[in-house]
Amino acid sequence: MKRRALFRVSLAILPVTGLLAAENSSPALTLAGIDGKTYEPLHPGDRKAAVIFFISPYCSTSNTFAPEMNAIVADHGADFAFRFVHSDTSVKPADILQHTELMEIKAPVLMDSSQALAKKLGVGVTPEVVVIGSDSGVLYQGRINDLYKGPTRRQREATTRDLRDALEAIRDGKPVPLAKTEAVGCEIGGLKEKKGK
């Protein structure tokens, strides 16, 4: 009985980084890009980490962050592999193409139509960002900044720069100051229904 209890406790405290690393031996998760190429979003290649933005053309909160996401890509593109991912099952391919153009997204845009990536990373809203290190561990997950205090509670301007702080720490080889924050935005369509099955 004691051994079983100890085993349950050890599983409960196993960090997300360990969970992703343990799955490293399984086939790589690949997603199709709107450019016709195939990508492994969890692998940063020769960069320090992969930065995955979960977005939706139907979420005004997500669209509000487009200029800041683009600025972060421009400022940190030399050190990080950026990906923009659509996981909402209601999103039409034509809307994704139009959204990419309107939002002036310069990084690869991927389609997670099976929601495999969103479920693997435990993402539930847009916009939400996950930073994956070269060892497949989650280095940061949550909001881009605190512009929104709640779904309809927008401040005049952000008072934190959570994602930028995380990326700068990773770039400089330092610990991320705040590795987990709560993302505020729109629920990813179809995800709750699949989780319930």
For the chain, the average pLDDT equals 86
Instruction: Provide the pLDDT for residue 193.
Output: 55
Q: How far apart are CA 117 and CA 147, in angstroms?
A: 26
The pLDDT tens digits for 3-12 are 333 333 333 3
Q: Where are the domains of the chain?
A: 30-196
Fold of 30-196: Glutaredoxin (3.40.30)
Query: How would you write the pLDDT of the chain (197 residues) with one tens digit per residue?
Result: 433 333 333 333 233 444 454 444 457 899 999 999 999 999 999 999 999 999 999 999 999 999 999 999 999 999 999 999 999 999 999 999 999 999 999 999 999 999 999 999 999 999 999 999 999 999 999 999 999 987 677 888 899 999 999 999 999 999 999 999 999 999 998 886 544 44
The alpha-helical segments, DSSP class H, found in the chain are 2-12, 16-22, 60-64, 66-76, 93-102, 116-121, 162-171, 191-196
Position 137, amino acid? G
175 prior amide bond cis, ω within 30: no
In 3D space, the residue among 1, 90, 76 whose CA is nearest the CA of residue 44 turns out to be 76
Backbone angles phi, psi at 175, to 5 degrees: -65, 145
Q: How far apart are CA 171 and CA 122, in angstroms?
A: 25
The pLDDT tens digits for 90-131 are 999 999 999 999 999 999 999 999 999 999 999 999 999 999
Instruction: Provide the pLDDT for residue 26.
Output: 53
Mutual angle of helices 66-76 and 162-171, in 10-degree steps:
10
Q: How far apart are CA 196 and CA 32, in angstroms?
A: 26
